[in-house]
């Protein structure tokens, strides 16, 4: 993998110009993504698959008189690009009217975001092998079986249209996750991290965290009776649940009566719904954890406070819904920062554990699914490190359990809040703290390790 960008700003502008030259509609917009991805997967203590892919995709949306169509392809030459524009226009002519289509945006101002790390873009097979070798060494020394993946990406996203919009975001992203298991399969531990800088991921420290959990659970686990428990959720477990709440921050679903945030005749903006220590923000220009500064339709993503000291302050409005409701449009978040309103409040994980008389420590959740959007009620299971806390100490491993619980209830039933950290996950930058909450509902026991 070379450090050369998969699509430089000059190349992007030339490509956009060439494609739009074929446009006859006023309203034609492009979305271009060029990504180099690479990974090394390992399992049973050795590499299993190793891959690199250079992907390229152009998506063209053409609209006229409310008739809209989108087509996408992988050809990068002028002829392919122009054929795509012509196909989008031809398809749009056939389309019935979409009354929710918004007119094209003009030029926009975006936050300056430095999200591409040249060193991460340069990493090749040797660099990935080094990371994995460090993890495998920890596993060998602890007599555990390691599996996991190190992956990184160098990607460029471009939006452009005929009315002067041009947005370009270049970003690297790297992550390492590992699961360590005892050879007899009785114990399992997980740890993971993500950053736009691969160098920021401490492979040895993550591996040790996973190994410690596997070893701590190696003597086999007892089953706890299902019921309501005080829980200490590690940051990853918080992120796993919180995603459901973040995707519910939509004004339309609320106004249409389909959401947790629905209220008779409107939505819950302004209501104190959560513990006053909770503040949830998004900020693409965060210096340590940068993320894309524009939404899919080209609108800038402003730094936004969604929940401030427990009160719902904002919901996302699409351009259509904003017009309809006479509100300013606000895109949904692409990064989330959950933090104590007072940063001094944030405690270390073990400090949190020390404050719990009896409870369950959860490493992460798995197979999480929404059950009821009106309550944001979700189900899923604990995985790879679940322990009973007694008198402020991690007493013993317990069997994994299924939960039926809402992240809204979690933020309401808060007992204590930890220091935020970046979690590993799909797509969104999530920087969240470990939390202690009471009355967390476990519905049944699982034999899975």
Partner 1 sequence: MGIIAPMSSSRRSFLALTGLCGAEALLHGPRAASAGQQPSRIPAPKSAPASADAGMALLAASRLLADESLLRTALAAATKAGASYADARLVLMRRERVGVRDDHVSGIGRSEDYGVGLRVIADGGWGFAATAERSAKAVEGIARAAVAMARQSALLMPQPVTLAPAPVLQGGWVSPFQVDPFSIAPAEKAELLLAAARAALAVPGVAHVDASVACVREEKLVMTSEGSRVHQIFFRVIPGLTTTAIDRRRGRFAGRDHEVAPMLAGWEHVTAADLVGSAPKIAEEALQKLHAAPAVPGKKHAILAPSNLWLTIHESIGHSTELDRALGYEANYAGTSFLGPDKAGKVKIGSEIVNLAADRTQPGGLATTAWDDEAVASQRWDLVKKGTFVGWQTTRDLAAAAGEPASRGCSYADSYASVPFQRMPNVSLQPGTEGYTTEDLIAATDDGVLITGRGSWSIDQQRYNFQFSGQFFWEIKHGRLTRPLRDVAYQANTVESGARVTCSEGQTRTASAAA
**Which residues, numbered 140-179, are part of the site for partner 1 (CB under 8 A)?**
145, 147-149, 177-179
Site for partner 1 in 215-254 (CB under 8 A): none
Among 15, 23, 40, 353, binds partner 1 (CB under 8 A): 40
The reply to whether 287 sits near partner 1 by the rule CB under 8 A is no
Residue 344 CB, nearest distance to partner 1 (Å)?
36
Find the shortest distance in angstroms from Cβ 339 to partner 1: 29
SS3 letters across 55-100: EEEEEEEEEECCEEEEEEECCCCHHHHHHHHHHHHHHHHHCCECCC
379, 392, 419, 439: which one contacts partner 1 (CB under 8 A)? 379
Q: Which residues pair with 336 in a beta bridge?
A: 430
What number of helices (H) and strands (E) belong to the chain?
A: 10, 21
Burial (CB count within 10 angstroms: exposed 0-12, middle 13-18, buried 19+), residue 272: middle
Scan for tokens 């790297």, then name that residue: 174
- Using CB under 8 A as the binding rule, whether residue 184 contacts partner 1 is answered as no
Quick one: which segment of 89-97, 237-245, 272-280, 345-353 binds partner 1 (CB under 8 A)? Answer: 89-97
Does 24 bind partner 1 (CB under 8 A)? Our answer is: no
Q: Is the CB of residue 178 less than 8 Å from the CB of residue 224? A: no
Beta-bridge mates of residue 169: 157
* By CB under 8 A, residue 386 contacts partner 1: no
366 binds partner 1 (CB under 8 A): yes
At closest approach, how far in Å is the CB of 111 from partner 1? 29
Interhelix angle 203-216/125-141, nearest 10 degrees: 30
C-alpha pair distances (Å), 149 with each of 129, 179, 187, 383, 442 = 11, 9, 20, 17, 30
Cα distances from 17 to residues 11, 48, 159, in angstroms, run 10, 43, 12
> How many CB atoms neighbour CB 118 within 10 A?
12
| Contact residue for partner 1 among 9, 103, 125, 220 (CB under 8 A) | 125
Helix (H, G, I), strand (E, B) or coil at 71: strand
Q: Does 305 bind partner 1 (CB under 8 A)?
A: no
Stated as kind and residue range, the H or E segment containing 381 is: strand 377-390
How many residues touch partner 1 under the rule CB under 8 A: the total is: 82
Q: Does 424 bind partner 1 (CB under 8 A)?
A: no
Residues from 332 through 351 that contact partner 1 (CB under 8 A): none
Q: How far apart are CA 46 and CA 246, in angstroms?
A: 37
Q: Contacting partner 1 (CB under 8 A), which of 11, 87, 212, 439?
A: 87
Q: Give the shortest CB-363-to-partner 1 separation in angstroms.
A: 13
Q: Indicate whether 288 belongs to the interface with partner 1 (CB under 8 A).
A: no
Nearer to partner 1, 190 or 317 (CB): 190
Window contacting partner 1 (CB under 8 A); options: 115-123, 323-331, 354-362, 363-371:
363-371
Does 97 interact with partner 1 (rule: CB under 8 A)? Answer: yes
Smaller CB separation from partner 1, 195 or 386: 386
Q: Is 85 in the site for partner 1 (CB under 8 A)?
A: no
d(CA 140, CA 146): 8
**Residue 411: its H or E element:** helix 407-412
């Amino acid at each position: 993998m070379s450090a050369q960008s998969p699509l430089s700003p000059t190349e992007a502008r030339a490509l956009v110009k060439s494609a739009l030259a074929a446009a006859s509609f006023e309203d034609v917009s492009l979305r271009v993504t060029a990504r180099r991805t690479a990974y090394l997967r390992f399992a049973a203590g050795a590499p299993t698959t190793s891959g690199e892919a250079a992907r390229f995709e152009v998506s063209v949306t053409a609209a006229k008189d409310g008739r809209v169509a989108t087509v996408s392809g992988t050809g990068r030459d002028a002829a392919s690009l122009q054929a795509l524009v012509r196909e989008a226009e031809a398809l749009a002519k056939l389309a019935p009217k979409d009354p929710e289509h918004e007119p094209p945006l003009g030029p926009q101002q975006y936050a300056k975001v430095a999200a591409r790390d040249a060193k991460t873009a340069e990493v090749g097979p040797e660099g990935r092998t080094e990371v994995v070798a460090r993890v495998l060494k920890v596993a060998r020394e602890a007599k555990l079986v390691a599996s996991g993946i190190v992956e990184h990406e160098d990607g460029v996203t471009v939006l452009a249209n005929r009315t002067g919009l041009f947005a370009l975001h270049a970003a690297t992203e790297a992550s390492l996750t590992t699961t360590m298991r005892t050879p007899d399969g009785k114990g399992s531990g997980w740890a993971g991290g993500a950053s736009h800088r691969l160098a920021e991921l401490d492979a040895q420290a993550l591996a040790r965290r996973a190994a410690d959990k596997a070893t701590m659970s190696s003597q086999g686990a007892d089953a706890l009776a299902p019921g309501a428990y005080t829980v200490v959720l590690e940051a990853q477990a918080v992120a796993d649940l919180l995603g459901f709440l973040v995707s519910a921050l939509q004004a339309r679903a609320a106004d249409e009566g389909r959401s947790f945030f629905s209220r008779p005749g409107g939505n819950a903006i302004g209501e104190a719904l959560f513990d006053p220590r909770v503040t949830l923000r998004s900020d693409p220009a965060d210096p340590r954890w940068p993320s894309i500064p524009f939404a899919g339709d080209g609108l800038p993503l402003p730094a936004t406070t969604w929940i401030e000291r427990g009160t719902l302050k904002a919901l996302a409005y699409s351009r259509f819904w904003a017009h309809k409701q006479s509100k300013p449009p606000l895109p949904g978040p692409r990064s989330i920062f959950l933090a104590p309103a007072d940063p001094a409040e944030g405690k270390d994980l073990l400090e949190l554990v020390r404050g719990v008389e009896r409870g369950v420590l959860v490493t992460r959740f798995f197979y999480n699914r929404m059950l009821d959007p009106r309550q944001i009620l979700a189900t899923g299971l604990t995985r790879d490190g679940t322990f009973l806390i007694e008198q402020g100490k991690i007493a013993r491993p317990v069997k994994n359990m299924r939960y039926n619980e809402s992240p809204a209830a979690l933020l309401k039933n808060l007992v204590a809040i930890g220091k935020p950290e970046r979690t590993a996950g799909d797509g969104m930058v999530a920087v969240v703290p470990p939390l202690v909450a009471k009355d967390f509902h476990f519905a049944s026991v699982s034999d899975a390790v």
